[in-house]
Amino acid sequence: NPLIPALQSDWLFIHVSTTATGQAILSISFVAGLIYLLKSIDTTVKSMKSFWLEAIMFSIICVIGFITISTAFAIADYKVDFNWIDKTGQEKFMTYKMPALVGPNEGEIQSSDRFSPIVEMPAIIHAQKLNTVIWSLFSGTILYLAFRLLTRRRISRLLQPLVKKVNLDLVDEIGYRSVLIGFPVFSLGGLIFAMIWAQIAWTRFWGWDPKEVWALITFLFYAAFLHLRLSKGWHGEKTAWLAVIGFVIIIFNLIVVNLVIAGLHSYA
């Protein structure tokens, strides 16, 4: 739905576009870090490093699973409608585009021929978005297990031949420079421009909304990244892991905070 007039401002476009640009640049550091880890970690030996590297591969497969499952239900034109009660006690209408594994607060299903939810979520949780995340994890797990059964190898080990000739020093430098450029761009969009828009929309710069808090956490993390790189001499595998963790924080903010937790940014 369109935003209410109070939220419509040129600063919204500036804030969102700048933040997205910063996150896109920071994602380059994630790709560089992942390539570095694939090249440098011995996946033939069981270790915490190889375990977490494979966990990253599983997460990527879950994204593929989300694309696959959402496309399948969209082609099937699957929909199920609910009446539910939000956290202010008002009755609302919600449409699911996947079978409801989790239902909204005090939800009443409007389609008798559809699958009823197994669990009801409290009003603070955006049940429809959480349902999508659960389906993504489920489909991703099925795809991952299918890959493992067919290849009898870890996904990370299958990808290692593709990075065999990669120059690690070059990849490390690309990851560092991506953070060096992306960090100030994200800081402008995710904090400074966001505060200006918040002042216009809600008459306050900061309100400790979950989205605002995690934007601050992202800022502090990448500030620590640059501090450790420039002052402590961290490079190579250490900063590769930091680049991956930083991107996980960004994705958590975009998916869990933005879509699942009900807050001022739930419309995004």
| Residue 5: per-residue pLDDT | 52
213-248 residue pLDDT tens = 889 999 999 999 999 999 888 888 999 999 999 999
Residue of 186, 177, 160, 182 lying closest to 235 (CA atoms) = 177
| Confidence (pLDDT) at 51 | 92
Give φ, ψ of 78 to 5 degrees.
Answer: -80, 130
Taking alpha carbons only, the member of 15, 1, 3, 31 closest to residue 199 is 15
What pLDDT shows up at residue 268? 46
Paired tokens of 5: 């007039």
Rg for the chain (alpha carbons), in Å?
Answer: 21
Query: What's the pLDDT at 35?
Result: 95
Contact call for residues 45 and 160 (beta carbons, < 8 A): no
Contact between 222 and 179 under an 8 Å Cβ cutoff? The reply is: yes
Report CA-CA distances (Å) from 232 to 69, 120, 127, 190, 239: 45, 49, 44, 27, 11
* Residue ranges of the chain whose pLDDT lies below 70: 1-8, 258-268
pTM beyond 0.85: the answer is no
